[in-house]
Chain A
Amino acid sequence: MADIICDKLTVEKSGIKILDSITCAIPHGEVVAIAGPNGAGKSTFVRALIGLEDISSGSADLNVPTEKTRYRRVDYVPQYTRQFNHLIPATVSDLFTFSRQAYPEIISELNINELFDKKMKNLSGGQVQRVFLAHAMLSSPQILVLDEPTAALDPLIRHKFSKIISDFHKKTAATILYVTHDIGSIGEIADKLIYLEEKIIFFGTFGDFCHSGEMSKYFGADQHIMCHQHKDNLYK
């Protein structure tokens, strides 16, 4: 059973088509990377899936049963630091106190312990991104959506990111969608890749993408990419 189903999903903003009739089904437990050039509609696509963008036509459905807690097990880490309310004097521990504690190891993996007593509004962009990443993974959502989650992270954490996501996926079997320009991390952690440019240009394994013509369109024809992957099932 697919966790995410889109049927002719179309999103228009101010009369301009951002997404054009996207149809796809993402099975439960898959890690799917979403790549594409700037302005291709990647962020709009993931935001439309989780109900944060108005859909012009078609549909996007998440097959996530509502739990006893009444709330969906879906979480999202946005591209830029989310515009949370700076007037509320919330501390990092406030955010975690009110969250389901289903994957506590993420707190130490992302070095959140040292930030617990700090006010959210006093954190740097990278620290906020770490906190939101940890918060999203802590509750062990059934669907985790990450939009360029490493953009504001320091090199040390960025280096650990692929391992953190892989470990999380092994333990929780969550469906993970993540928008990225980091083609290297796609080879390491993604089962499949969606290459988007208003429409889905490619949807398949990273290996197939490497051998398709789309790769050179993305990086430029004069670039030579050496493709390999670390995930066992990629070249099946």
Chain B
Amino acid sequence: MIELFSYQFIQHAFIAGLLVAVLCAITGIGVVSRNMSLLGDSLSHLSFGAAAVAVFSHLPFLVLTVPAALFGAIFITKFSKKNNNSSDALVAAISTAGISVGVLVASFTRNVTIDIQSFLFGSILTVEATDLIALSVLFIFVSVGFFVYKKEIFSVLFDAEQAKISGINVNVYQIVISLVTGLVVALSMKIVGALLMSALLVLPAFSAMRLANGFSRSVILSSTFSLFSVTVGMFISFSTNSPTGPVIALCASFIFIVALISSRE
């Protein structure tokens, strides 16, 4: 098992997995606490549609998936605010449209079925150096941003009215949180896949928020659960020669069920 790590593509996969785990854990707190758990699903399905168009047009997939996810994030956040958080119909519509565009475009594209499948279910072993650089830059941006603006982020998520009174621009923070979520989804999709994105974005954060006592602890616990799911998932996947994304998703689901049973609230 250890000798696997002598291969560069395994090293890339492992580093990418850990970066995605922490990114999803931190942004997941912002997603779950705003009752927008399906935001991740919707953005990843939209990104899948964009990725299919990118493959069809022979463009680098990030050129289309990043703008699509950012646009979706702003659109859903704005719509949700206007309609008093009743955005589930819009989220469902965007999810369906994204998947439909992806499958439709894929049907017109010859010899790229494997590419499309890797976007749907993840393909951690195809992570390239450019993916790692993009994930590392986003990881630094999110970690430093969270550390510097922790007070403001807590205030906006916990009590937006109080945040507004004290002069915090609540709208800007909410849009930035959604935009960062869009970026995380667009960059992580290759690792865990569009269909399984919610597993890392929602389950560790939700489990941590059930069990933790305190905001900072919930972020640390969410990161721990996410790192555990990715690490154990990858080891099981490599040793059993099974697809990585679904195994990671099952590990996160297992933690989620344990958290649900063990938390008394």
Contact = CB atoms under 8 A, between A and B. Distances in A.
A98 B153 CA distance: 11
A72 B167 CA distance: 5
Interface residues of B, number: 27
Interface size band for A = 20 to 34
A117 interface: yes
A98 B35 CA distance: 23
A148 interface: no
A205 to B, nearest CB: 29
B118 interface: no
Contact of B213 (A76, A85, A89): A89
A119 to B, nearest CB: 6
Contact of A88 (B157, B162, B165, B167): B157
A136 to B, nearest CB: 9
Chain A CB count within 10 A is highest, among B155, B166, B213, for B166
A51 B165 contact: yes
Nearest to B213: A91
A142 B239 CA distance: 63
Nearest to B156: A85
B33 A71 contact: no
Interface in A83-129: 83-85, 87-91, 93-95, 98, 117, 119-121
B154 A98 contact: yes
Contacts of A74: 165-167
B215 interface: yes
A66 interface: yes
Interface string B233-265: 000000000000000000000000000000001
A66 B157 CA distance: 22
Given A90-B154, A90-B215, A71 B159 contact: no
Nearest to B35: A87
Interface string B77-112: 000000000000000000000000000000000000
B167 A66 contact: yes
Given A52-B164, A75-B166, A117 B157 contact: no
A72 B215 CA distance: 24
A91 B35 CA distance: 20
B223 interface: no
Contacts of B168: 71
Interface of B: 32-33, 35, 150-151, 154-155, 157-159, 161-162, 164-168, 209-210, 212-218, 265
9 contacts: A51-B165, A76-B165, A84-B158, A85-B158, A88-B33, A90-B214, A94-B214, A95-B158, A117-B213
